Amino acid sequence: MVNEALQRVPNDNGNKYIDEVNQIRDSLAIMGNNSTAFSLPQGKTLNGKEFVSFLQQILEALNKGEIPSTGSLVEIFNKAILERCLKVYKEKLEGLRLPVPVEKLQQIHEVANGEAKLLFDKQHFGKHHAVQSILKLEDEITKVYKNFLLANEYQSSKLCEARFSECEDQMDHLQVLKLPSMAKFNAGFFYCNRTFVMECVGPAKERYDHRMSKMLLKSRALFIKEYNNKLFNWLVTFALVMVVLGRFVIKFFLLEIAAWVMFIFLETYTRMFWSAESLYYNPAWHIIVSSWETIVYSPLLDLDRWAIPIALLLLFWLFYWRCFARRKRGSRSVLPLYKNSHKNSSRPRSD
């Protein structure tokens, strides 16, 4: 039985670890054939009491593990092989960058588990003890796999929570735009949703998908509710500003008339129909909204971001036009310069 347990392991590929194991097996086989831990005393007859005492010593040594047995030797060497197989399994799973989908983690687990068991089948000792060792290997692999499942769940929740918070902050920012724009809100809405779907992975994705959908729908409903009211107030303010500019700054009569018409229409319509909400179903309002969206937000210009710089630039231009351009024209009219004016003079020169 000892010889069977300590037979050399085939090593066709020249694996250095298998060579070391074979050397250890050869040494143990020689040691097992040439020595024993306890032997009967030579040339001495034992009475009953001495024989019982001798058996007690052997049993105590066996219980303490001081006498190596075939099973204990096989267990020791299988333990080293088991640790090596478990290391192969861990290295395979540690190559993953968590979080990953549960299906992918399960797939890698099955591949790594198969490789670890295949390695154990090639290097294990004995048959009876190999069954016990393979059960222990399965238990250890199960523990490691559960730890990876927990780590994957944690990393997935952490990542999805971060992406959810970013989208929530972005939706809050879009609610307080200086210049309300449905096109800009929709662009931010779809970008946020697309980024979340692509980057939130792992077992927590399904749970956060539900939260994300509720948050986006709520943000969209709130924006639409406030959008028309904000746009109406902006249009009224814009009409009054155009009246002032057309009358006192630019002094362009048609601009002033158009601004007055716009202001009167907005104010009169709401007075006639009691509320601004009734205006939002008018086809004329839809035309106004389309024009507003075209001006405020486009792929080339985001007026909400550049409104203040553009306003300052226009004010500077108006100031320059009012103060310097007119002064230059006035100076030319007051002091005209004529070339060859003496040719057109009818007065005779005096001597």
Computed from CA positions of residues 137, 141, 144, 146, in that sequence, does the dihedral angle turn out positive or negative? negative
Q: Which residues are bridge partners to 302 per DSSP?
A: 297
More reliable by pLDDT, 60 or 219: 219
pLDDT of residue 38: 47
Instruction: State the Cα angle at 241 between 235 and 247, rounded to 5°.
Output: 135
Higher per-residue pLDDT: 268 or 275: 268
Choose from 217-226, 260-269, 318-327 the range with maximum mean pLDDT: 217-226
Residue 179 has pLDDT above 60, yes or no: yes
In the structure, what pLDDT confidence band is assigned to residue 227 with cuts at 50, 70 and 90?
Answer: confident
Query: Could you state, in order of their start, the residue ranges of all structural domains in the chain?
Result: 2-34+64-155
Q: What's the whole-number average pLDDT of the chain?
A: 77
The C-alpha torsion from 266 through 267 and 273 to 279, rounded to 10°, is 20
The pLDDT assigned to 280 comes to 73
Q: Can you tell me the mean pLDDT for 230-241?
A: 87
> What is the rounded average pLDDT of the residues 241-269?
85
